[in-house]
Amino acid sequence: MTTDDVGYQVLTADTAASYVASRPELASLIDTTSLARVEEVGDGNLNLVFILTDTAGRGVVLKQALPYMRLVGPDWPMRPDRARLEAEITSVHARVAPGLVPDIYGYDPERYLIAMEDLSDHRVWRGALNEGLRHDGVAEAMGRYVASVAFGTSPLGMDPEEQKRLAASTSNGELCRITEDLVFTEPYVDAGRNGVLPANEDDAAALAADAEMVAAMGLAKWKFMTEGEAIIHGDLHTGSVMVRGSDPDGKPGAQPSTARAIDSEFGFCGPVAFDLGALWANYLIAATRGAALGDAVHQEWCLDLVVNTWTSFESEIRERWPNRVDPRVWHDDLLEHLVAHWRQDAWLFAAAKMARRIVGLAKTSDIETLDPDVRALAARAVLSTARSAVRERIVDSSPTALVELARSLQPT
């Protein structure tokens, strides 16, 4: 793919440095005449990502949107303007949740390109989890992040007119539609993009035939499409979290880790519980991998993340509550209502996210890199957890109940 094909300059590892040197707002960030590394490292589904570091150790990341889905190719066109949304949402999140997202250095609307903080001293959390590594404190940091965004970008914490302007400027129908289709519909109505191991075909068929599950996913989709509460991240799986431990191995005994939420291009004014559910689903998938590998200690550590994120989310919301915009009518009973509503809906969204990662397009390396015999058992366990969760959330929506449910269905 060349610049001519798409109508704007598409960077390569050969042109990234001269691009930085040509941009006054970026040129002072690194010494482009003395570079140690220029590499395209994008491993996500959508974009190009370049890391440039100089010999003094300073770095910058360039993230460029392609006019199509990288995972699929030009057959799935997409508007590259999504990069503007990511730059804007990340900047807003940086204001309300400082230290929990990368710094944005600039946005180039002609090339659909974001320049941002180099996080090469961090790694993608999913990869660390897959290796059985522990980064204590990350789940709590993500709970604080979701709560800070929930409060700080909703009418709870913003002037109502300003909040509506922000909701409008971050409106993102194209990417929302991907989630609406891939997460809520296609696992149940195959559009030709689903796929499972032969050993899981009956499990996928049973999922699609589960009327209660399908009805719950219909409700979840409706909520996703209509509950505009805050400018959420929109794709907060463990591959969207970068982690760094002061012990590089992240082994027990390490100092508290640091964490950043990246890749908020799917963000929009949506339901707060969607981000919580995404985290929970991916923690449970990581726990299932641990169980499939016979690593009960790691399995239990991953299961605990569900409670850790929730506890931190809830306490951050409660801490911010006294600062709500309209305490005249938003009394403490509303706080209790919101907390209960977010907790129960997080179950629903977690179920949706678990099922889509097993049956639909864009699976997770946690499960996909297992040997096929244990992979089938792990996939079945994740689907069983999703199907049970939509039922159990009505009975007991505490996060500990979700952990107990998931533990009871782990592969053995």
Give the interface with ligand SR1 as residue ranges (CB under 6 A): 45, 69, 71, 178-179, 182, 235, 361-362
User: Two tokens at 50?
Assistant: 């370049």
Is the C-alpha dihedral spanning 163, 166, 168, 173 positive or negative?
negative
Q: Which residue ranges make up the site for Mg ion (CB under 5 A)? A: 44, 263
209 binds, among ligand SR1, Mg ion, none (CB under 5 to 8 A by kind): none
Contact call for residues 142 and 126 (beta carbons, < 8 A): no
Contacts with 316 (C-beta within 8 Å, 6 or more apart), sequence order? 143, 144, 147, 148, 151
Query: What phi, psi does 398 have (nearest 5°)?
Result: -70, 145
CB nearer ligand SR1, residue 312 or residue 364: 364
User: Which of Mg ion, ligand SR1, none does 69 bind, CB closer than 5 to 8 A by kind?
Assistant: ligand SR1
Answer with the entry of ligand SR1, Mg ion, none that 71 interacts with (C-beta below 5 to 8 A by kind). ligand SR1
Q: How far is the CB of 262 from Mg ion (least distance, A)?
A: 8
Of these partners, Mg ion, ligand SR1, none, which one is at the site of residue 148 (CB under 5 to 8 Å by kind)?
A: none
- Residue number, nearest CB to ligand SR1: 362
For Mg ion, give the closer residue by CB, 263 or 345.
263
Q: What are the structure tokens assigned to 203, written together?
A: 């499990």
Between strands 59-65 and 47-54, the pairing is antiparallel
State which residue, 191 or 296, has the beta carbon closest to ligand SR1. 191
Residue placing its CB nearer to ligand SR1 in the complex, 158 or 361: 361
With b meaning 16 or more CB within 10 Å and e meaning fewer, what string describes 262-286?
bbbbbbbbbbbbbbbbbbbbbbbbb
Q: 257 is written with which tokens?
A: 């880790």
Residue 179 beta carbon to ligand SR1: minimum distance, rounded to whole angstroms: 6
253: alpha, beta or left, given left = phi > 0 and alpha = psi -120 to 50?
left
Q: Which residues contact 131 (CB under 8 A, 6 or more apart)?
A: none
Provide, rounded to whole angstroms, the least separation between the CB of residue 76 and ligand SR1. 7
Q: How far is the CB of 210 from ligand SR1 (least distance, A)?
A: 22
Closer residue to ligand SR1 in complex, CB, 126/387: 126
The residue number whose beta carbon is nearest to Mg ion equals: 263
H/E stretch holding 397? none
Looking at beta carbons only, is 77 or 99 nearer to ligand SR1?
77
